[in-house]
Structure 1
């Protein structure tokens, strides 16, 4: 029995390593980690502080989350075959819980679209407002955009004296 468990552990480790060495697998693993960390940050902020913003010219905590969700929707529908669902939704009236559910759903949409896409499609060059980009570059942009705004949200938590969730990006 111990040998079977050891063999299973080794096979799972090899499978995990194989996923990390291809574009799709590496992105999907990192995307799930990004989802987990952003959701933990969104949960950490008390709902009565969701309208907090450090200065008048900056977005509120809640508006940052809405912006992240909207960017994922735009890039997902434009470059990764998510269905377009008409005009952008107004998420500003959502409760903290419902906004977190919307974020989780959008992360899952991107995950599933990327998982279903043929790996060769990531090399395809697409039109982007900043010039032609490969879908791989769009994947990197998706992750980078979440990371950029999540970093701002960490500052907001610190300014509101809220304990930060443990980093889960590994």
Structure 2
């Protein structure tokens, strides 16, 4: 009986930790959304084509790249849908880009919220080798953070004070 009780306690702790991981990600994801949208709004539309050097993406391209990556990772690794990674040459307005980013963040939130926490241990095929869905979850946030840091530099180079950081 004692062994069964210990096993039940360990199972409960493991389930709690998986749910806690999902809750922490979703909370952080909402704050990440708020902060990125604040940064996107801070840059005047006429500077969305600004890029510090010729080899870098413009401010607007950075935002669209973030959106595309969120769509790809969340669809490919957390749904049964097939992701169509087509190159989009459309020039979007600031308002359109912000709206698309907001929808993408919201979609990722819903997809992850509806993911069974136990599935985070599942391995998936990834171009950098097999990864767990938990690793893909971390990549989702890490990629946004990486490019958001670049956007802060772009704002500073244009003499615009970046919005105050929104963290946990």
- Verify same fold: TM over 0.5: yes
Matches within 5 A, 1:138-149: 138-149=136-147
Normalising by the residue count of structure 1, what TM-score does the alignment of the two structures yield? 0.84
- Any idea what the Cα deviations from partners look like across 1:112-160, whole Å, max 9, x if unmatched? 0000111101111111100110000000001000000000000000000
Inter-CA distance 159–29: structure 2 relative to 1 (3 Å threshold)? same
Inter-CA distance 21–124: structure 2 relative to 1 (3 Å threshold)? closer
Partner of 2:88: 90
Normalising by the residue count of structure 2, what TM-score does the alignment of the two structures yield? 0.85
Inter-CA distance 20–83: structure 2 relative to 1 (3 Å threshold)? closer
> Do structure 1's residue 127 and structure 2's residue 131 form an aligned pair?
no
Match among 30, 39, 47 for residue 41 of structure 1? 39
Across the two proteins, how many residue pairs are aligned to each other? 153
Gaps (5+ residues) in structure 2? 1-15
Match among 95, 115, 133 for residue 117 of structure 1? 115
- Any idea what the Cα deviations from partners look like across 1:19-71, whole Å, max 9, x if unmatched? 99711001000000000000000000000000000011111001100100010
Inter-CA distance 109–168: structure 2 relative to 1 (3 Å threshold)? same
> Counterpart of 1:22 in 2: which secondary structure?
helix
* Mapped partners of 1:84, 1:122: distance in 2: 19
Partner of 2:101: 103
Question: Is the CA contact (8 Å cut-off) linking 1:64 and 1:153 kept in structure 2?
Answer: yes
How much does 1:163 deviate? 1.8
* Mapped partners of 1:82, 1:44: distance in 2: 36
Question: Is the CA contact (8 Å cut-off) linking 1:82 and 1:113 kept in structure 2?
Answer: no
Q: Pairwise CA RMSD of aligned residues? A: 2.0
